[in-house]
Structure 1
Amino acid sequence: MKEILTHINGVPIHRNFVENIPYNPHLKILLKQKRKAGILGEVLFWKKVRARTFHNIDFDRQRIIGNYIVDFYVKTLGLIIEIDGSSHDEKQIYDGIRQEYLESLGLTIFRITDFDVRKNIDVVMKDLECFIIEHFGTTPSSKIP
């Protein structure tokens, strides 16, 4: 049985640490630029999760994984949170290739829109709780006898 990381709504959430995540050091310069850009949806989401304020879960902002920079990453769950703004409207093929690569590493992706983060942050946080429970939680009915 995997180690319990936290509990959400009484449901134990199990660690899902993914090892050997590739890292491209050449992206470090872009990382700094992206952080300084201060995209509103990302800033609002970060205020909700930084310093373990969301169920004591540690989130990283702007994390390099392979040749990509993801918006948020939870190392202990192997969970990526992507906030899609208008820049993603014309990038469905690129996003699909990117998502396929990230999932091939054993990572799980939770996508939300920048609009929802800006206008419905409380709903987004509830949706994230449900997503984490669904993918990393163990409820009494899902236990194997």
Structure 2
Amino acid sequence: MLHFARHLRSNATEAERILWRHLRKRQLAGFKFRRQHQIKPFICDFVCLEAGVAIELDGSQHADQMRYDEKRDAFLRSNGFRVFRFWNPDVIFRTGSVLETIREALRDAKMDGRFDWSL
């Protein structure tokens, strides 16, 4: 799994590269994000462990794997994560809207007390 996660990181899609530029180095509201992070048995595109937020970017292939995505989302939710899915074109052409949605989720996590200040 670790090898596969490394492969995904080094072969990021355009949408993943764009979003990562905004999430890395605590640029978004001071929260730390990881990319292609394993939460067994899945690898999430982006995850903020301290706020319990998982972000998945979907390309056209996801239309054919909806059951797999539903299973993954259910697993992540059962482990305390809020899951957000964005289509690649939305990330590329409406980056500001995507970032605002993520920012609101982080704000909600902080207000709900899900934010773990010790991390």
TM-score (norm 1): 0.72
Say yes or no: does 1:68 pair with 2:42. yes
8 Å contact kept, 2:52–2:82: yes
Task: Give the fraction of aligned pairs with identical amino acids, expressed as a percent.
Answer: 27
How far does the alpha carbon of each residue in 1:84-131 deviate from its partner, in whole angstroms, 9 at most, with x for none?
A: 111211111111111111111111111111110011101111121223
Quick one: which of 45, 50, 58 aligns to 2:24? 50
Whole-angstrom distance in 1 between the partners of 2:41 and 2:84: 19
Greater CA radius of gyration, 1 or 2?
A: 1
User: Quick one: which amino acid aligns to residue 75 of structure 1?
Assistant: L
Aligned to 1:116: 90
What is the root-mean-square deviation in Å for CA atoms of aligned residues? 1.3
Aligned to 1:126: 100
1:61 CA drift (Å): 0.7
User: Quick one: which amino acid aligns to residue 45 of structure 2?
Assistant: D
Whole-angstrom distance in 1 between the partners of 2:11 and 2:67: 24
Gaps of 5+ in 2: 113-119
The alignment covers a number of residue pairs equal to 112
8 Å contact kept, 2:29–2:103: no
Whole-angstrom distance in 2 between the partners of 1:137 and 1:112: 23
Whole-angstrom distance in 1 between the partners of 2:63 and 2:53: 23
Whole-angstrom distance in 2 between the partners of 1:113 and 1:133: 22
Task: Name whichever structure is richer in helix by fraction.
Answer: 2
Gaps of 5+ in 1: 1-26, 139-145
How far does the alpha carbon of each residue in 1:50-101 deviate from its partner, in whole angstroms, 9 at most, with x for none?
A: 1111111110111000111000110111111111111211111111111111
User: Quick one: which amino acid aligns to residue 41 of structure 1?
Assistant: A
Whole-angstrom distance in 1 between the partners of 2:105 and 2:56: 13
Quick one: which of 26, 48, 54 aligns to 1:80? 54
Q: Secondary structure at the match of 2:103?
A: helix
